[in-house]
Structure 1
């Protein structure tokens, strides 16, 4: 993602976690959470933004193909382009990766997200280092869960590394996709990657929305879920 430095002086409106957004420069930065790198950009046709699989809906499915003998799958670059329903307040975005073959789900809610200007498109770029969590032939579904946002396009690009290349250590926390996520487990092999107590806020505002229950699953006991203490961090591009 070194090419993103060319956008470091561009600006995007961020909403979400007040402690991370108040008084912060509107210039584009990278967010690190759970070993996931992500950033929000104004719409662009930059040639560096490419996808192996593209959908114009909020979900995309594919099977992990075989790779060259001297390579291994390292992670997924995920792109989500969206606009806001100007008549309603935008709801936080959730990205969900499901390994249907292994019956594992990872649901990520970033602490902040980009709010498009009226009539404009915002791009959410994220890189998920998956390592050995995904194998050749696995059936994968990537979906985006949101309200009051309109999908323009979503895409996935497979990222490979040489077999003898060490996986990138992008965070010092153990709480990465390849580390210990037990504190974020909702049920067997389902992980809700969120730094704020989203469930408590919904209890104050009303019952858990049906669209979120449908996406996460009724097998989750929402009454026992607690918020988590650590916050994400920003870093300049």
Structure 2
């Protein structure tokens, strides 16, 4: 069974994995070096629509819940505009053993909050686990199709922004 959690504008899923997939544009293996500058050399008809973040961790010791939230977290910051977000998922993946890694794949719908040339910082914190790798992929949309109207209710979920309104969806296939 495959499960996706949608919470506050972010889709997340946890899968077994040892490294960030090759299709991610930026990869970081040092937890202290997790920032990138969004490219400036793109076609002027394209805008930044979303970010996909992959955070890989493993648990060298069995996980024990200590009460307060001690699961994985991702922090996203647009340093240029001084905008900050944090995601602490209500459910998260645990590896089957101390040798197996977990990939936390997430998609952040950022709409117009990021522009070409912005400096973004992405941090992943496993708290109970060991950091392995972090990846970032930037998604773009052509301005000509940005105002596309659809009658698909699921697509309305995908258009959500980072509002303070509390919404959580669970999508299972």
TM-score range, shorter chain: 0.7 to 0.9
In structure 2, what is the equivalent of residue 97 of structure 1?
76
Q: Residue 57 of structure 2 aligns with which residue?
A: 82
- With the length of structure 2 as denominator, give the TM-score of the two structures: 0.80
Higher normalized contact order (CA 8 Å, seq sep 6+, divided by chain length) = 2
TM-score normalized by the length of structure 1: 0.60
Partner of 1:164: helix, strand, or coil? helix
Partner of 1:224: none
Q: Choose between structure 1 and 2: higher helix proportion.
A: 1
Unaligned stretches of 5+ residues in structure 2: 148-154
Residues 53 and 46 of structure 1: CA distance in aligned 2, closer, same or farther (over 3 Å): closer
Does residue 53 (structure 1) correspond to residue 17 (structure 2)? The answer is no
Shift of 1:117: 1.5
Which structure is larger by alpha-carbon Rg, 1 or 2?
Answer: 1
| Aligned twin of 1:10 | none
Alignment of 1:8-19 (within 5 A): none
Gap runs ≥5 in structure 1: 1-26, 184-229
Distance 1:33 1:88 in 2: 24
Q: Once the 2 structures are TM-superposed, how far is the Cα of residue 108 of structure 1 from its aligned partner?
A: 0.9
CA RMSD across the alignment: 2.5
> Alignment partner for residue 157 of structure 2, among 140, 154, 170?
170
Distance 2:6 2:62 in 1: 31
